[in-house]
Amino acid sequence: MKFLDLCKVYVRSGAGGGGCVSFRREKFVEFGGPDGGDGGKGGSVWAEAVEGLNTLIDFRYQQHFFAKNGQPGMGRQRTGKDGDDIVLRVPVGTEILDEDQETVIADLTEVGQRVELARGGNGGWGNLHFKSATNQAPRRSNPGQDGVERTLWLRLKLIADVGLLGLPNAGKSTFLAATSNARPKIADYPFTTLHPNLGVVGVDNVEFVVADIPGLIEGASEGRGLGDLFLGHVERCSVLLHLVDGTSETIAEDYRVIIGELEAYGGDLAEKPRVTVLNKIDALDEEERAEARKKLEKACGGPVMMMSGVAREGVTEVLRALRAEIDADRLRHQPETEDAPWQP
């Protein structure tokens, strides 16, 4: 299944049915009168957050969603049938934007949340509604109300507790594969990750969700590389895990590149709690580790942890540091099963 996190849809609610002009004509009934029924209400278009989805790929193959029109009223005071609603089932974490891609109409962050995107038109009144003491045989009715037509954008922001950041080949996918059941692509060339991956990580009998996004490069905010298209997926995270390649010759510059892109992205992303980790220390001796850690601590102005995702050295300490930054109500107790996520 391919990953898609942004798509355009066209929705239209149903028009209301027209009212009916009708009169009773029954044998042996001396006085008839109006008996035209009302038109049915048009169907509405809804969006609902459901479980089991983590991509918007279904909307690549169907972009138009039209609700049914209401049926017109009929004689003998019969009301027309209401049009059927249409429900767009989207993943949890989907934002619904207006056509300008800036105005947020709704943000569906919980399973079962629903929002009405286009309301169906009301049905028109039949001539029975216009009967009065001075007008006992009205010959007028109302047409149904037109439906609403809109162009909308759906933007998915994955719901995760921890977001992985770093340059390409910083070891983000290796960390995710080593600590969870996720199996992201891992190779010795940059940009092996082309779309976000989610993994459930367990430590000390609790579990949380980690999101791995494609690596950033300098100028990502201006569209270089894969750009900052996927940074929205870590906006909802409680803490960011910033991995820096310990084998790089420009450790301090690598750190500043990522921080600069976070600041250029805007919002409060750069202000989120961060855990800075020097990765790939299995390739360094003790003297090289100390020198690399000193450079990174000077660049970030704070504590730096050391880890090797391949050798799983220092991984437990990193997971515990991440857990300490996550709100208690977001942590989930880990089930004791054979398929449980990796435990230190």
- Annotated binding residue 173: yes
How far is the C-alpha of 258 from the C-alpha of 241, rounded, in Å? 12
- Annotated binding residue 279: yes
- Annotated binding residue 168: yes
- Annotated binding residue 195: yes
- Annotated binding residue 69: no
- Annotated binding residue 310: yes
- Annotated binding residue 172: yes
- Annotated binding residue 281: yes
- Annotated binding residue 171: yes
- Annotated binding residue 329: no
- Annotated binding residue 267: no
- Annotated binding residue 169: yes
- Annotated binding residue 192: yes
- Annotated binding residue 309: yes
- Report the binding-site residues for GTP: 166-173, 191-195, 212-215, 279-282, 308-310
Q: Binding site: residue ranges?
A: 166-173, 191-195, 212-215, 279-282, 308-310
Show binding-site residues for Mg(2+): 173, 193
